[in-house]
Amino acid sequence: MNCFKLRFPFVQRFQLTVAVIVILAHSILPAAEPVRLTSDGHVKRDPVFLNAQGTELLYTLLEKPAQLRLMKLSLVNQSTTPLHPTETRSEFEPALSANGRYLTYVQNRGNLSLALVIEDTIENRTSEVPPGGGFSGLRSPTFVPDNSRVLFSYPEEGRQQIYSVDLQGKNRQTLIDSEGVNNWPHFSPDGRQFVFSSSREDDYEIYVAQSNGSNPRRLTNSPGQDIRPRFSPDGSRISFTSNRDGNYEVYVMHSDGSNLVRITNHPEQDDYAIWDPTGKSLLMINERSGSFDFYRTEVP
């Protein structure tokens, strides 16, 4: 018995040491080496998966210095096709409804006047939210998971807020109204809350709010910009881009802001991360040697 009493504190210390090592490992271990998916090197942005298998993408391509074009990409054979081959106006920031029926994106109507377009891909009907006056427009659309409304960011009265409209572009409602810029909304899969980035405290940080915009809570606190947050398919984690370490990298945290993990680590920028439909990896656009391509990175 005395021998047990002498040894037991050592066992406790050993177990505690192992637990601390495991916790630290989860915080600092890097993700697996990114897998390159494309090799054209063209400037890209705004990817979104088009199917549940994760084999098709819709993204924005800088086709000409003055035109952004929506492109479809097969990750199986890297073939690309324009979504709207005859369109001469810039289109970007696409989003797809959970049931795959509706598509929304931003369309440039000239002189930085940006409209929001909502397409019913089954009935081949189009609705829109027209741009406001002056040099302004709608940005960063995203669907509510029940496919009933579209959220977007819009500058008005000296600040940029988050609103929602129905699928006909009508019945506008204000969800987030604060000082600064509020942008990049994205809903949790269960539809109970959405995440967004806000500069209300003089620096872009990640916030989460209830589905009606109430009870906004700050999740990050860094000296750099934390932008473009995305919920994972199961709603347990959030990915985002941050330059808190002096360069744009991709990070992941739990949905309550805890357990922050840096996913990428490269002197060039890593951005526009979206979750694979399985939730096990992130697809993102990485700059390597001045070229921009899609990469897939497993999430630890």
Confidence (pLDDT) at 17: 39
CA pseudo-torsion sign 194, 197, 199, 202: positive
pLDDT (tens digit, 9 = 90+) per residue, 69-102?
A: 999 999 999 999 999 999 999 999 999 999 999 9
What is the residue whose two structure tokens read 């509020």? 182
Cβ atoms 249, 263 nearer than 8 A:
yes
Cβ atoms 270, 30 nearer than 8 A:
no
Q: Which fold has domain 34-298?
A: Neuraminidase (2.120.10)
Cα–Cα nearest to 177, from 153, 161, 164: 161
Confidence (pLDDT) at 164: 98
147 alpha-carbon distance from chain centroid: 18
More confident residue, 159 or 143: 143
Consecutive H or E run containing 28:
helix 2-28
pLDDT-based confidence at 158, cuts 50/70/90? confident
pLDDT mean over 168-194: 97
Asked if residue 20 has pLDDT above 60, the reply is no
pLDDT (tens digit, 9 = 90+) per residue, 38-78?
A: 999 999 999 999 999 999 999 999 999 989 999 999 999 99
Confidence (pLDDT) at 134: 61
pLDDT-based confidence at 23, cuts 50/70/90? very low
Confidence (pLDDT) at 156: 85
pLDDT (tens digit, 9 = 90+) per residue, 211-249?
A: 999 999 999 999 999 999 999 999 999 999 999 999 999
Specify the range with the lowest mean pLDDT, choosing from 109-113, 142-146, 184-188, 225-229: 109-113
Cβ atoms 182, 176 nearer than 8 A:
yes
Which pTM does this prediction carry?
0.88
More confident residue, 158 or 212: 212
Confidence (pLDDT) at 31: 56
pLDDT-based confidence at 157, cuts 50/70/90? confident
Q: 3-class SS at 12?
A: helix
More confident residue, 134 or 90: 90
Cβ atoms 185, 193 nearer than 8 A:
no
Confidence (pLDDT) at 140: 98
DSSP 98-132: TTS-EEEEEEE-STT-EEEEEEETTTTEEEEE---
Tokens of 88: 């001469």
